[in-house]
Structure 1
């Protein structure tokens, strides 16, 4: 069985709206990656593949989803989380489920570290890469480690994974977390004063996903109460 648009795990329409390029917080540490991915998504890049790597929470998925969304206007452009994809596919060889992806304008493979060491999946991605390149398509990948530092089982894929542009994303600092929260608040029409953001950072774990969930809760509460975000109001909503 071959992979087809009807069988794909498509760009998940359940992703938050802010996962586009305009909603990505730009910093000195990620500016090069943002430019490289947005250029790739405009089909203007001199390379045909980009591999992003860095720890969780650094915005890799955001960039992959943003690129897939932008390229979707020009044609089929699937975003595929390798963990979810492998878990949801029925029994069979991975090569079956990646066949046909060369018809896409751009393919985005996320969480590549999950297939490291599985030679069947590495072979499938390796051949998909070759077919996609032959058709003039582009490949955008992300993983937690640089491809050269990942324990691949297939030597050919270990070499091919580093063929294009490889860019690392640095861990978030508190000023980045505050900037991300303020950018996402502004997208909701909500002002997050710096002192309120710092108040949250002092009292909650620095995990950006959890902080975004807290921002969602505050947004709903502020809308319902017709209130601005102040430290007393935040205290009352979050009960501390």
Structure 2
């Protein structure tokens, strides 16, 4: 399983992304999870379009699908399109030689005609090869500022999976799961303190939790309100 990236060497996803970004760590709509699981397992060849705002779990699901596909013996390619704006044709060359292609940050290419043509060509190659394809974007296909009508049409025919940001109960569940997977004790009062004083964006919370995890491991401490105050400041 390879994360395609022109900015550096190609490395297995397992070496580049947190093991928390797996289906087992997903908290959200079960229907969306079921669709991604079927795609990762090769049971569905539908092209998918994950749409949701920041922190809704789009990248988590794409990486989880790639990990599950690899576990099932199917090669998977993940690529953030934000990293290849302006040179998408080179970056997308040959990426369809996999069982699953996952393209994140689709919004980043919208408006660049050359990149859009490269993506349109890739979409056709992927579908002709019978390869599973999953996009992720903040905006719906019709709201993207695309210059290429044919690309908009292809995206509009994908199966739409709309994601919504988690509420505080969902965010707390994510943090509990991550703590449990590391053998950490996360006091409920500490969870409440964290969620009421820090960013509610899930990606921000995930980065913050990694900081707390390292600090707790070094200090051999539970995640309590006094410890959070010590690490993060009042």
Shorter-chain TM-score: which interval? 0.7 to 0.9
Q: Map 1:153-192; keep pairs closer than 5 Å.
A: 153-192=147-186
Partner of 1:233: 227
Partner of 1:143: 137
Contact 2:110 2:147 in 1 (8 A): yes
1:81-106 deviation line (CA, Å, top 9, x unaligned) = 0011336x5xxxx4343232332111
Structure 1 residues 18 and 6, CA, compared in 2 at 3 Å: closer, same or farther?
Answer: closer
Structure 1 residues 198 and 136, CA, compared in 2 at 3 Å: closer, same or farther?
Answer: same
Where does the alignment leave 5 or more consecutive residues of structure 1 unmatched? none
Partner of 1:111: 105
**Structure 2: how far apart are the matches of 1:144 and 1:112?**
8
Cα shift at 1:110: 0.3
Cα shift at 1:139: 0.5
Cα shift at 1:64: 0.6
Partner of 1:53: 51
Q: Does residue 1:193 correspond to 2:195, yes or no?
A: no
Partner of 1:39: 38
Where does the alignment leave 5 or more consecutive residues of structure 2 unmatched? none
Which ranges of 4 or more aligned residues in structure 1 deviate by more than 6 Å?
5-8
Partner of 2:19: 17
Structure 1 residues 11 and 157, CA, compared in 2 at 3 Å: closer, same or farther?
Answer: farther
Cα shift at 1:238: 2.5
Q: TM-score scaled by structure 1?
A: 0.85
How many residues are treated as equivalent by the alignment?
A: 227
Partner of 1:223: 217
Q: Give the secondary-structure state (helix, strand or coil) at the position aligned to 2:213.
A: helix
Structure 1 residues 97 and 227, CA, compared in 2 at 3 Å: closer, same or farther?
Answer: closer
1:25-69 deviation line (CA, Å, top 9, x unaligned) = 2x3xx2222111111101112x42100011011110011111112
**Structure 1: how far apart are the matches of 2:136 and 2:5?**
24
**Structure 2: how far apart are the matches of 1:214 and 1:113?**
26
Partner of 2:60: 62
Q: TM-score scaled by structure 2?
A: 0.88
Partner of 1:72: 70
Cα shift at 1:236: 2.6
Contact 1:82 1:111 in 2 (8 A): yes
Contact 1:9 1:79 in 2 (8 A): no
**Structure 1: how far apart are the matches of 2:5 and 2:52?**
32
Structure 1 residues 20 and 6, CA, compared in 2 at 3 Å: closer, same or farther?
Answer: closer
Contact 1:11 1:65 in 2 (8 A): no
**Structure 2: how far apart are the matches of 1:142 and 1:40?**
14
Higher mean C-alpha deviation, range 99-108 or range 50-59: 99-108
Cα shift at 1:161: 0.5
